[in-house]
Amino acid sequence: MKQKAMAKKAIKQRSAWLASMFGCGAFLLLAVKVYHVPVSSLASNLLVALLLMALVLAVAAGLGWVVARLKKRRN
């Protein structure tokens, strides 16, 4: 019984994820077709966002490593 409920929840989550992906795609298509936003502009903004996210993750990983090393040194 519990597995059936979990399977149903997984299907609902997958459906919600697919609906959100279609919504994002429709929004981007609307931006390109109706508002005449250049695809190159969208792509460059995506690249900048990905690079900034990678930078934030790298800094967080570095700080986590430093904190782990400092805790290890104290013990």
Q: How does pLDDT run across 4-47, given as a tens digit for each residue? A: 888 888 888 999 999 999 999 999 999 999 999 999 999 999 99
Instruction: Specify whether 33 is located in the same domain as 52.
Output: no
Instruction: Specify whether 28 is located in the same domain as 6.
Output: yes
Instruction: State the pLDDT confidence band at 50, using cuts at 50, 70 and 90.
Output: very high
Instruction: Specify whether 43 is located in the same domain as 75.
Output: yes
Which residues constitute the domain of residue 64? 38-75
Asked whether 42 and 32 are in contact (CB, 8 A), the reply is: yes
Instruction: Specify whether 15 is located in the same domain as 29.
Output: yes
Residue with token string 């929004």 = 27
Instruction: State the pLDDT confidence band at 60, using cuts at 50, 70 and 90.
Output: very high
Instruction: Specify whether 19 is located in the same domain as 46.
Output: no
SS3 34: coil
